[in-house]
Structure 1
Amino acid sequence: MKKEVLIAVIAGLILGLVITMGIYTANRSLNQQRAKKLMQNTPPPTMPVVNNKSLNVTSHESFDLVDKSDLTLSGVAWPEAVVALISEADSQIIRADAEGIFVFKTRLIKGFNEIAIIAGDETGTTQTQNLVLTYSTSKIELQSFVFGLITPALAAEEASPAGETVTDKIKERLQDTVSEGLVAIKEEITGKATAPRKKAYLGKISSLDETNQTLTYKEQNFNVNFNEDTVFVKGTNTAIDWEDLEVNNFVIAMGFYHPDTESFTALRVSLIKEPEPPVNQQLVQGRISEVDGQKITLNGKTLTLNKKTVLTISGVDKPGTDDLALGDSLFAIVTLDSNGDIDRVDAVYIIPGKNNPAGLVPTNIDATKSAE
């Protein structure tokens, strides 16, 4: 009897162990299936996208004062970016070279010029840099005793052209290193780190006394110092005194900015009539969905080209609307009317798509002259 009880106990233990192992195995298998299903349904972690597409005008700074109407404006965007220049006197669209360098040959009107540089590409990425440059033939010079103290630095600034040479040097440096900032490179190759720089600040007078004034322009404030050499004029050349100026007058103050003291001293202050707002121009882009003669449709907008419209098609020497195809990427500078509708098309740049034979031939003949 004891033997039978012992056998029954042992059998019960074995059966219980088997059942326990079965339950454990089943649970483990179920958990593994759940984990596998969870992994399949969980999207892989996405790596953050780093946007290295930037725009830097390197030949000039905003509020620079220049004494020639012809201007070479250069800078760096990203490889083969489409770059537009929009100003009161000019509208251009070009393409940066393989290193992102672009060069514009443009012109300025007398007085101050508001210039917009816009870089974009087929992905829809855009970067914008706005400049205000003043063109004046008025003689703006440092006094001789000061000039003697800063001649080496100033000579270095004047000896460095603002056009192709500077851009070529930037290009050479960019080939050597990508770790240095563009500003540092620019300062090194032009010697402008500490040299006084010709500037022209403009705006409405918000405060005024015999030693200085504060100008406000588009929510920016500029402190302008006077000294015994400061000349005050109305219009082109009618002499006035600082006491003839009033708050809310619109003036252009031309002189020198001193980086070491971060101060600006005006040598000439011109009282002028407040200018009218510039015409509304902008850059539009998209893919061509329809071409009907001189009318091009994209993004629900219709652009009508005229005889004055500058048309550029990458890879085409003498472009016309017959060289366009559906799917081509279009970049256009347009002028808007008071209602915000397109009044005229000033310039058009086309990157041929896969439906355009011009896009099948790799070429860079229309890249900026800086690559030559």
Structure 2
Amino acid sequence: MRKEIIFAILAGGSLGAIIAFGIWRANSAIQNTPQIEDTFAPQETRSPSSSFGPNATPSGGFGITLAKPDSDDVETQSPVTFTGITQPSTWVVISTDKSDYTFLSAADGSFSQDVKLSPGINQIVLTAFNEKGNSVTKTLNLVYSKELAQQQ
């Protein structure tokens, strides 16, 4: 009888230690993992024209604003019209996994371009280049599904 009690105590203690170790490892792994929202969020990067550091030339408000579509939208029709605004007469490049669209923004800075999507997830990269050599990039993900269009 004493042997059974000692065995039960040792087995319970070992099982408890294994479970506690597993919980500790899971918590430490979660704390070191980047957040999923950060991975798929729209990203915007800027490149300076010629210098770095405190004497770098600021981009002077140079940017690109996309009116539609929004990142992580689900589209049921292709092509999709990208509309937005940047500086006047700026070269804009819209890149998909299969093709690139290059055009000049209008005199007021607005732009509109039809872009063909492939079925599934599409990572779209919009880049604008001004006359000073500055560039600004915006990345977004769109999902194109023919199945959703058929169900509606």
Query: Which residue of structure 2 aligns with residue 110 of structure 1?
Result: 119
TM-superposed CA distance for 1:60, in Å, is 1.0
Query: Which amino acid is 1:83 matched to?
Result: V
The structure 1 segments of at least 4 consecutive aligned residues displaced by more than 4 Å after TM superposition are: none
Query: Which residue of structure 2 aligns with residue 74 of structure 1?
Result: 83
Query: Which residue of structure 2 aligns with residue 158 of structure 1?
Result: none
CA distance in 1 between partners of 2:91 and 2:76 (Å): 29
CA distance in 2 between partners of 1:138 and 1:68 (Å): 11
CA distance in 2 between partners of 1:103 and 1:66 (Å): 17
Q: Between the two proteins, what is the percent identity of the paired residues?
A: 24
TM-score by length of 2: 0.57
Query: Which amino acid is 1:80 matched to?
Result: S
Residues 75-94 of structure 1, C-alpha deviation per residue, up to 9 Å, x if partnerless? 11111111001111321110
CA distance in 1 between partners of 2:106 and 2:61 (Å): 16
Indicate whether 1:93 and 2:102 are aligned.
yes
CA distance in 2 between partners of 1:76 and 1:58 (Å): 8
Contact 2:87/2:130 (8 A) holds in 1: no
Indicate whether 1:64 and 2:73 are aligned.
yes
The Cα RMSD (Å) is: 1.8
Query: Which residue of structure 2 aligns with residue 351 of structure 1?
Result: none
Unaligned runs of 5+ in 2: 1-56
Query: Which amino acid is 1:81 matched to?
Result: T
Query: Which amino acid is 1:92 matched to?
Result: Y
Query: Which residue of structure 1 aligns with residue 19 of structure 2?
Result: none
Query: Which amino acid is 1:110 matched to?
Result: P
Query: Which residue of structure 1 aligns with residue 42 of structure 2?
Result: none
TM-superposed CA distance for 1:74, in Å, is 1.1
The 5-angstrom pairing of residues 95-244 of structure 1 reads 95-139=104-148
TM-score by length of 1: 0.24
Unaligned runs of 5+ in 1: 1-47, 141-372
TM-superposed CA distance for 1:105, in Å, is 1.3
Query: Which residue of structure 1 aligns with residue 3 of structure 2?
Result: none
Query: Which amino acid is 2:136 matched to?
Result: Q
CA distance in 2 between partners of 1:138 and 1:87 (Å): 21
TM-superposed CA distance for 1:139, in Å, is 3.0
